[in-house]
Amino acid sequence: MIELYKVSKTVPSGTEKLTILHSLDLVIPDGQFVSVVGPSGSGKSTLLGLIAGLDAPTGGEILLDGEDITKMSEDALAELRSAKIGFVFQSFHLIPSLTALENILVPMEIAGRRDAMERARQLLKDIDLVARAHHYPSQLSGGEKQRIAIARAFANGPSIMLADEPTGNLDSTNGRHVFELMVEMNKRGGTTLVLVTHDHELAEQASRRIALRDGRVVNDSDHEKREPVQTEETIGVAAS
Amino acid sequence: MRFILNMARREIRSSWRRLLFFFLCIGIGVGSIIALRSTIQNASHTVAGEARSLLTADVQVDSTRPWNPESLAAIERIARPPLVEAKTETIDAATMVRPADSSGEGATMVELKGIEPLFPLYGEFKLADGKSFDPALLDNGGAVVAPLLLERLQLRTGDHIKIGESTFQIRGVIDREPGSGGGFRLGPRVFIARTAVEATGLVGFGSRARRRVLLKVQEGALETVVQNLRAELKGQLVTVNSYKDAQENLSEQFARTENYLALTGLIVLVLGGIGVSSVTRVFIEQKRESIAVLKCIGGTGKQILAAYLAQVIALGLAGSLLGVALARCALIIAGHYFAQSLPPNMSYGLAPGAIVQGVGLGLLISILFSALPLLRVRHIKPNMLLRDEDESGGLKRRRPDLLRWLTGALVVLGLLLLSSWQAGSLRVGLFFLGGLAATASALYLAALLLVRLVRRIRHIRSFALRQAVSSLYRPGNQTHTIVMAVGLGAFVVMAIHSLQTNLLKEIDLARRTNLPNMFLIDIQPDQKQGVEKLIEAATGVRPELIPTVRARIFAINGREIDLEGREMRQERGRLGREYVVTYRPRLEANETIVAGKFWDAQSSNEPEVSIEEGMRGLAGLDVGSDITFDILGRKMTARVTSVRRVDWRNSRTGFMVLFRPGSLENAPQMLVAPINGPEGEPQRSRFQRELLDQYPNISVIDVAEVVSTVGRILNNVTLAVSFLGGFVLLCGVLILVGSIAMTKFQRIYEVAVLKTLGAKRKVLLVILFVEYGLLGMVAGLIGVLASLALSYAVTRFVFEIPWTFSPLVSFAGILLTVLLVTTVGVVSSWNVLTRKPLAILRA
């Protein structure tokens, strides 16, 4: 379960401070597929980065499976990511000096899994790229790169999958393919999936839809389930 | 662990080409250290292993004056069977040889050795005809001579030569003589029978001759014999040496030479280290994204750091192993081309100890120099993957990074230990590192200044110039590295060059000025007028003949000198030696009094001396001290009334001890004539011949010949050091090429954009020329300035000779550096200019 309580993020911008997230509360139960939409600069990617422990919030608490990650050291966070979190980026971020197979292998090697090679080959089969095993990222197409990135993200069987506009750099055919692959692998593993996207069509397929604007939640399809007071209070505090 | 090793292995697969140049530098540095150390260790083993044949005996008793009966009796008592198995005597002296045939031309100084049939007790004595030396050759006026004598006097085997008043027949030519260490000699070697030496009538060299008793000692009795001899001969002004002592001395000398030369190798290695440091920095910079990804998928900072450290270690090891291969090649080449200047029978294999040291150094330097840049790995935030801008810069700087400082301190300490280890002394290591650090900082500051300066002038009209200047401070620029690497290279090469010219100039001074270029020694007082006349006839100048007396210091302030005593042993060279002293009423122009008061012109019966400043403090010597001299057995105590400084460079003669006239006139003395001999080789030779025909006891030291010998030795040394300097420069060039290769990816993109925007190739070329020209100028300028500082310091304070500055050479040095850097820079960037832009922009 992912729990965010009064999470805010401010960054210095020139002489002034820029608030990216305003005291945000959010609870995502296990296995839920959540899409996050909103215009550029609304705080979508920052939210995702905070959940993955890639960045520290300015205030508030973030709990993953009941554990507060805001108090963790860099190395402890790295270990947490290795065990629980998969991440897919818009611009793939494969390691250019490693082959497709090796890119999938790396997270399992970091985790010290003995069956790393076996599983990496299986994952390659799952994403239908066995023929590309020994190609370097520069020799792969965009769609292929993203599929490798997805296999890499799922390698350690994470309980949480975070995807930051995974189809943003792909044409619609490839985008659809990648999206379907992700949803399928998500279902198979019973993983919590948080998907940041611009594509409303994709967003609609999620079981819960959250809209952000200027660092605030302006719409949550699960809204009814939550206590309205809390939401109003949140907005109230942020506005004051 | 598996992740670390796998990651390192995979990364090397793609990165080794980019890192190649730097690890080549490590290879060259390691190679030069291993090659140098191996050569010298091999030479040392060979020479020390032959210490017995160098001494030609197990034990040698050595005296610089005729044996007194007591000493001989003492030696006789100890040197008996069974402890001592064989005994033989020799006598050595520099003297003159001339052809006996009156039509023969010239005369020359030789190193005469009188031997007995048992000589040598050890060692090989071979003649040019391939036979072994036979003592019978020397019977009845026979002589065996070095080939050089035949060449100088145009003689052949069978011809006769005159030494003093005796005639000898040349019966053999030396091929290999025992006991020749290849050291400095005044003239070619001539062997005659020891008993024949007396007959030459050369009493003149009496006290300059060195007499030796050589002993062959029973196995295991060496220590006993040496101890007994030392005890018995105490106070006799003779020295007792065993081949073991000689071995130790030789090994020590070799070890010292080895360490100093190894430091030059270390410079190459440190240069390589600077390269490694810069490449690691740029490398990590280029790997930011990969590192962030690794962190994002769960890699900890420590794991990633370890993976990159493993790469550095692997490449450092590869570079070091390359160095071993290079050293092997160098030794094979040395065996082919330089065998005659190295000891015979020397092995040209690599010394295992040197290999271990070299590889260890290569690894340590790689690790030390990459440590700081590797630490940057820790600061790369995985969050950069989500946002493009670099926010790492501003936030970090506020907090001082303790680990970074700690690592920095460890690196400095490590380098200090390494250089001290290599130099074999903490002091030298400290100086070495200090000098290197000073030069490197000067270069670094110069580069910093350059960057600051060019930032100011960015509003230049010319587009090409502006581009060139801005590329000096673009992110990830290699300005500092290039300036430091090339500057250090220029520094070493120029410093060696400057030192060499100054030394050669100093030696050549003897030829250029009116300092004497010929010394006539051993002139008897009754020959004075005749010799004066002869010199005047030959040179047109009436010479000044200086009386000399040989004296030893027997006691200082009443305390007898005990050469075996602990405190005296260190000063043995200065206290035990025989001083040539003179007397005169006045100071020479090149002398000044630094303490006490110089005597009046009148003679005095009270013995009074003036000592040279170098003697001051020796066993407490100063104005007011009493020195008891032993002058051929007679004791005379004189008071020190003044201390002089002698400008040795401007001296016709120089005397450590000068007596007031009045006390030495009746002592046995000989005259010395410092003169300017006739010009031209045949004239000089003819003059010596004429002189010797009339006065066979006189010896002539021809400075011109000595200078050419010293010049030859110096040339060999310069060659060796220049060779190393060349390596340093080569390393600088490699780093330059490597640095350019490192920034190529950036440059290619830039050039592609400029081309798209319409820049012509000419403009792009101008940009390259200006950029590298500026870099070369700064590197050359600072390198040359630093080299001048070093050569000034060494010339003035180590060699104590005047220093001359040749602006033309310095200018040429700077110009060459600029040319080198520009050429290498433009050539290495050439393919950047010729690539088609579209492919690059698409990628």
- In DSSP notation, B467-516 reads HHHHHTSSTT--HHHHHHHHHHHHHHHHHHHHHHHHHHHHHHHHHHSSS-
pLDDT at B390: 47
Task: Please enumerate residues of A whose Cβ is less than 8 A from a Cβ of B.
Answer: 11-12, 45-46, 48-49, 52, 54-55, 74-75, 78-83, 85, 87, 89, 93-98, 102, 105-107, 109-112, 138, 152-153, 156, 164
Whether A25 and A230 have beta carbons less than 8 Å apart is answered as yes
Residue of chain A whose alpha carbon sits nearest to that of B10: A98
Radius of gyration over alpha carbons of chain A, in Å?
Answer: 18
Going by their DSSP bridges, the two strands B210-217 and B84-99 should be labelled as antiparallel
pLDDT at position A162, please?
93
Please list the residues that pair with B145 across neighbouring strands: B173, B190
Sign of the dihedral through C-alpha B340, B342, B344, B346: negative
Write down the pLDDT at residue B843: 52
- Comparing B837 with B299, the larger pLDDT belongs to B299
Nearest to A97 among B15, B382, B843 (CB): B15
Whether A157 and A126 have beta carbons less than 8 Å apart is answered as: no
Helix H segments across B681-760? 681-694, 703-742, 744-756
B300, A74: Cβ pair inside 8 Å?
yes
State the complex-level ipTM.
0.78
Query: Is A77's pLDDT higher than 90?
Result: no
| Amino acid letter, residue B616 | R
Query: Which tens digits make up the pLDDT trace of B79-98?
Result: 888 888 889 999 888 888 88
With an 8 Å Cβ cutoff, are A75 and B302 in contact?
A: yes
Give residue B590's pLDDT: 81
Please determine, for residue B318, whether its predicted confidence score (pLDDT) is greater than 50: yes
The pLDDT value given to residue B475: 66
Q: Which two tokens stand for residue B786?
A: 């630093």
In this complex, the residue of B15, B289, B391 whose CB is nearest that of residue A93 is B289
- pLDDT score for A35: 94
User: Where do the DSSP E strands lie in B156-291?
Assistant: 160-163, 166-176, 189-193, 210-217, 239-242
% of chain B at pLDDT higher than 90: 11
CA A232 – CA A239 distance, rounded (Å)? 10
Q: How far apart are CA B181 and CA B784, in angstroms?
A: 38
Average pLDDT, chain B: 81
The span from the CA of A27 to the CA of B441, in Å, is 57
Q: How far is CA B609 from CA A110, B598, B715, in A?
A: 85, 9, 41
Tokens of B382: 């995985």
What is the structure's pLDDT at B842?
A: 57
pLDDT confidence band for A212 (50 / 70 / 90):
very high
pLDDT computed for residue A230 by the predictor:
43
Which of A48, A81, A96 is nearest residue B297 as measured by Cβ atoms? A81
Tally of CB atoms within 10 A around A134:
10
pLDDT, tens digit, for every residue of B715-755? 666 666 666 667 777 777 777 777 777 767 767 777 777 77
- pLDDT-derived band at A78 (thresholds 50, 70, 90) equals confident
The partner residue sitting opposite A106, judged by closest CB among B13, B14, B297, is B297
Which among A185, A154, A157, A190 has a CA at the least distance from the CA of A29? A190
Candidates A99, A98, A6, A115; CA nearest to A50 is A6
Name the token pair of B575: 């206290």
Nearest to B278 by CA among B832, B679, B738: B738
Count contacts between A and B (CB, < 8 Å). 89
Q: What is the mean pLDDT of residues A141-164?
A: 92
Which chain A residues are Cβ-neighbours of B397 within 8 angstroms?
A: none
What residue in A sits closest to B290 (Cα-Cα)? A95
Is residue B299 classed as helix, strand or coil in its secondary structure? coil
> Rounded to an integer, what distance in angstroms lies between the CA atom of residue A5 and that of residue A23?
8
Nearest CA in chain A to B302: A75
Q: Kindly report which listed range (A20-24, B174-178, B573-577, B585-589) carries the lowest average pLDDT score.
A: B573-577
Q: Which of B576, B692, B524 is nearest to B99 (CA)?
A: B692
- Give yes or no for residue B63 having a pLDDT over 70: yes
Residue B330 is classified by DSSP as H
Asked if A110 lies within 8 A of B293 by C-beta distance, the reply is no
How does pLDDT run across B140-180, given as a tens digit for each residue? 999 999 988 888 888 899 999 988 888 999 999 998 888 76
> In this structure, how many other beta carbons lie within 10 angstroms of the beta carbon of residue A232?
10
* β-pair type (B578-583, B546-556): antiparallel
At residue A237, the pLDDT reads 40
Q: Does B138 touch chain A (CB under 8 A)?
A: no
Nearest chain A CA: its distance from B495 CA (Å): 44
Structure tokens at B19: 């890192």
User: Between A92 and B66, whose confidence is greater?
Assistant: A92
Q: Is the pLDDT of residue B310 over 80?
A: yes
Chain B residues whose CB is inside 8 A of the A82 CB are 297-299
pLDDT digits (tens, 9 = 90+) for B662-674: 888 888 888 888 8
Contact B570/A at CB under 8 A:
no
- As a whole number of angstroms, the distance between CA B608 and CA B566 comes to 30
Distance CA B241, CA B220 (A): 16
DSSP H or E stretch at residue A23: strand A16-28
Flag whether pLDDT at B791 surpasses 90.
no
Q: How confident is the model at residue B451 (pLDDT cuts 50, 70, 90)?
A: confident
Spatial strand order of the sheet with A208-213 comes to A85-88, A160-164, A192-196, A33-37, A208-213, A216-220
Cis peptide bond prior to B82, omega within 30° of 0: yes
Is the CA virtual torsion B582, B583, B584, B588 positive or negative?
A: positive
Report the distance separating Cα A137 and Cα B228, nearest Å. Answer: 84
Above pLDDT 90, what percent of chain A? 46
With beta carbons under 8 A apart, name residues in chain A contacting B15. Answer: 97
Q: Spell out the long-range contacts of B796-799 with Cβ–Cβ below 8 A and sequence spacing 24 or more.
A: B799/B502, B799/B503, B799/B506
List, in order, residues 6 or more apart from B752 with CB less than 8 Å away: B835, B837, B840, B841
Find the mean pLDDT for residues B591-614. Answer: 88
> Sign of the C-alpha dihedral, residues B695, B699, B704, B705?
positive
Closest residue on chain A to B304 (Cα)? A110
More confident residue, B307 or A234: B307
Q: Is A79 in Cβ contact with B298 (below 8 Å)? A: yes
* Best mutation target, B2, B288, B293, to test chain A (most A CBs within 10 A): B293
- Say whether the peptide bond before residue B400 is cis (omega within 30 degrees of 0): no
- Once rounded to an integer, what is the mean pLDDT over residues A145-168? 92
Of B253, B195, B224, the closest CA to residue B59 belongs to: B224
DSSP run (H or E) holding A5: strand A2-13
> Is there a contact between A109 and B7 if contact means CB atoms under 8 Å apart?
yes
- The answer to whether residue A132 scores a pLDDT higher than 90 is yes
Taking CA–CA distances from A81, the nearest residue in chain B reads B298
Q: Which helix (H) or strand (E) holds B97?
A: strand B84-99
Reported as half-sphere exposure (CB side, CA atoms, 13 A), residue B624 has a value of: 3
Q: What pLDDT is recorded for position B325?
A: 93
B35, B37, B42, B45: CA torsion to nearest 10: 180
Chain centroid to Cα A213, Å, comes to: 19
Could you tell me the pLDDT band of residue B272, with boundaries at 50, 70 and 90?
confident
Torsion of CA B822, B824, B828, B833, to 10 degrees: 30
Instruction: Compute the average pLDDT of residues B191-199.
Output: 87
> Rounded distance, CA B290 to CA B285, Å?
10
Residue A70 gets which letter from DSSP? G
- CA nearest A122: which of A97, A157, A96, A92? A157
Neighbours of B654 (CB within 10 A): 17
Which among A220-229, B266-275, B668-677 has the top mean pLDDT? B668-677
Query: B775 with B454: CB under 8 angstroms?
Result: no
